[in-house]
Structure 1
């Protein structure tokens, strides 16, 4: 079996909802990071790219159903390069990486371009169709930005609660306090601010032409648990813990990376950043959705033959502080090794566009 490696990675700065990147279509965001990562490969003949696989969680609007193909064409790559879009919601671009690594392992591909793109600002409203062409009464618009829409009535009510209420239930079940959530969130902001100030993201982030955004827009340097404690809870008026300050914000952005075989180093003209040693996925009761990474990571480590004691750094999506803390506590790992350069609570969470962070600058 061929081994799969991660090569260079790039992303846009992440914009706040309705702000820095709101004027940019999601297919243009995808095209930007595709074009940028290709530009950064000094020896690349683009004809050697086997396929483009991108994650996208919306797909209802300007993505035109297949943002990977749209971005590939808009970036000016050869029309012969296929594009596939995958949707595992917040894990979509991770799934893109998994799909690509499997193709490399199987010998079906040598070099894959993967990533994710999401514009939550530009997610359209949808109007349900009915059996009758001219139904009586009113029809209700549904936003596709986040969460449930057009829910099947056969679904149990506990499965179709809001993400925030699901997080409240998770916090309740696993004993994650409001104070712990606020402390975690303040730390995310301060780590992200320090990483930017130290130049960690300088070679990773590629600003989008025509916009003024050069850094992640949501970071609040100098954040503290004391300041966050003053915010009102959003999903529960009484005994709630989740606020706008300890949850990730709605965001826009895109990211891309190379996944390739060992021989892809010669194609790209750069050394690999990491080897993909194991993969895992897991699902659980939807009302506790945020706990699924616990077993997913455990499965991946088991397949790689690695114990938690051997892990020195963890990148965990911070959808909500409560969800992140529940996972970290379940693993029994030191909080200091998690998201050492900040996380989604600070930088933003454009659903399918994961940050593609790594320690150290990309190869040049």
Structure 2
């Protein structure tokens, strides 16, 4: 049976907005992660059928040029520079899904799926329309917290747990296999090596979080401390057909079992992750107790908390190394960040199944299930 399998995945460290990645062009970020995959796995660029790049809507018309520049820097032939997709938070996850579909259909055998976010370089483009869309998400996050009866204290406790898990993972070196260290030239001309996510520098207490002002109203629950941090970053995944991997002597690490996409009411847009999870499990023919790791995007703490309430999943399996609240949310690269973290953790614990879910501002949801081989 023809399968779409994952050979490898890598990502950059996540940088704060206007932080250490702000001086690195997005095409260079892409070139770094793609080159690493190609060299590490000894793949000839001539064998690549296509690269699929998820990018930020902020990049807009510059996306096609960015892809060309990234491809040239990597040495990928121009005729293999394929699809460019912008699906906000789902961009890179959708890139992986499209790569899997191309492989399963028989159109392609070797595809690199990538994602890149460079919010620092496009800060001036964060105009009223962009903030209007972000505010829609914040309103939805407040709304679902009210509907499901989740208190501010509960939201803050979840955020604190996410950070504690991420700090513990960093301390144990769990991120080392997924993060590609970068040599970055500083304004003073010196070069530094960056190999850790920049948000993991300061630990908070529940008291610290309780003092942060909410985004909207005085009695609101959602604030910067229990929300994902919009950040810079890039990631890439090497996918193949199982037959081509076998021919090349490469060991597939995971197979993609299911790709579920659905829409939901944008006023409570995050509820789609609940339905999407249930549909994906049915389509994959497994039950929720068989999943070893869940990666549900932490746009806001209320999102994974209502998901937990409705799915009855084991909380210890949810974002075991922290999520966007702790690590950052490089929007168009978040899907691959989550996938990379999930598969490396599955390897570490010898788990079998992983499920990840991401929702975008318009209420469209992606849920992907992978199986460790």
TM bin (shorter chain): 0.7 to 0.9
SS of equivalent residue, structure 1 residue 282: strand
CA drift at 1:224? 3.1
Shift of 1:58: 2.0
- 1:166-185, CA deviations, whole angstroms, 9 ceiling, x for partnerless residues? 21112111222211111111
Gaps of 5+ in 2: 186-191, 349-373
> Is 1:202 matched up with 2:176?
yes
TM-score by length of 2: 0.83
1:169 aligns with 2:140: no
- Relative to its length, the structure with more helix (as a share) is 2
Q: Distance in 2 between matches of 1:14 and 1:219?
A: 10
Q: Which shows bigger deviation, 4-13 or 211-220? A: 211-220
Paired position in structure 2 for 1:290: 270
Provide the alpha-carbon RMSD of the alignment: 2.3
Deviation at 1:264, TM superposition (A): 3.7
Q: Deviations over 1:323-359 (max 9, x none)?
A: 1211222211111101111111111101011212122
Map of 1:182 onto structure 2: 156
Relative to structure 1, the CA distance from residue 161 to residue 253 in structure 2 (aligned partners, 3 Å threshold; closer, same or farther) is closer
Structure 1 residues 1-364: aligned runs within 5 Å: 2-42=2-42, 44-60=43-59, 63-65=62-64, 67-123=66-122, 125=124, 142=127, 146-148=130-132, 161-211=135-185, 212=192, 213-220=194-201, 222-237=203-218, 239-266=219-246, 269-354=249-334, 355=337, 356-357=340-341, 358=343, 359=345, 360=347
* Counterpart-to-counterpart distance in 2, 1:174 and 1:66: 45
Contact kept in structure 1, 2:55 and 2:84, CA below 8 Å: yes
Distance 1:244 1:298, change over 3 A: same
Q: Secondary structure at the match of 2:111?
A: strand
* Greater alpha carbon shift after TM alignment, 18-27 vs 246-255: 18-27
Q: TM-score, normalised by structure 1?
A: 0.85
Q: Which residue of 2 aligns with 1:136?
A: none
SS in 2 for 1:315: strand
Q: Kindly state the Cα deviation for residue 59 of structure 1 after the two structures are TM-superposed.
A: 4.5
Instruction: Tell me: CA distance 1:65–1:236, structure 2 relative to 1, closer, same or farther (3 Å).
Output: farther
Contact 1:182 1:245 in 2 (8 A): yes
- Structure 2: how far apart are the matches of 1:222 and 1:35? 34
TM superposition shift of 1:7:
1.5
Distance in 2, matches of 1:316 and 1:91, equals: 12
Shift of 1:74: 2.6
Q: Is the 8 A contact 2:145 2:302 kept in 1?
A: yes
Return 5+ residue gaps in structure 1 as ranges.
Answer: 127-140, 150-159
C-alpha displacement at 1:267, in angstroms? 6.3
Q: CA deviation at 1:6?
A: 1.3
Q: Following TM superposition, by how much is the alpha carbon of 1:290 offset from its aligned partner in structure 2, in angstroms?
A: 2.0
Work out whether residues 53 and 68 of structure 1, in 8 Å CA contact, stay in contact via their aligned partners in 2. Answer: no
Whether the 8 Å contact between 1:45 and 1:267 is mirrored in structure 2 is: no
CA–CA separation in structure 2 for the residues paired with 1:65 and 1:81:
13
**Any idea what SS the aligned residue of 1:232 has?**
coil
Name the CA shift for 1:88/1:99 in 2 (closer, same or farther; >3 Å). Answer: same
Larger Rg computed on CA atoms? 1
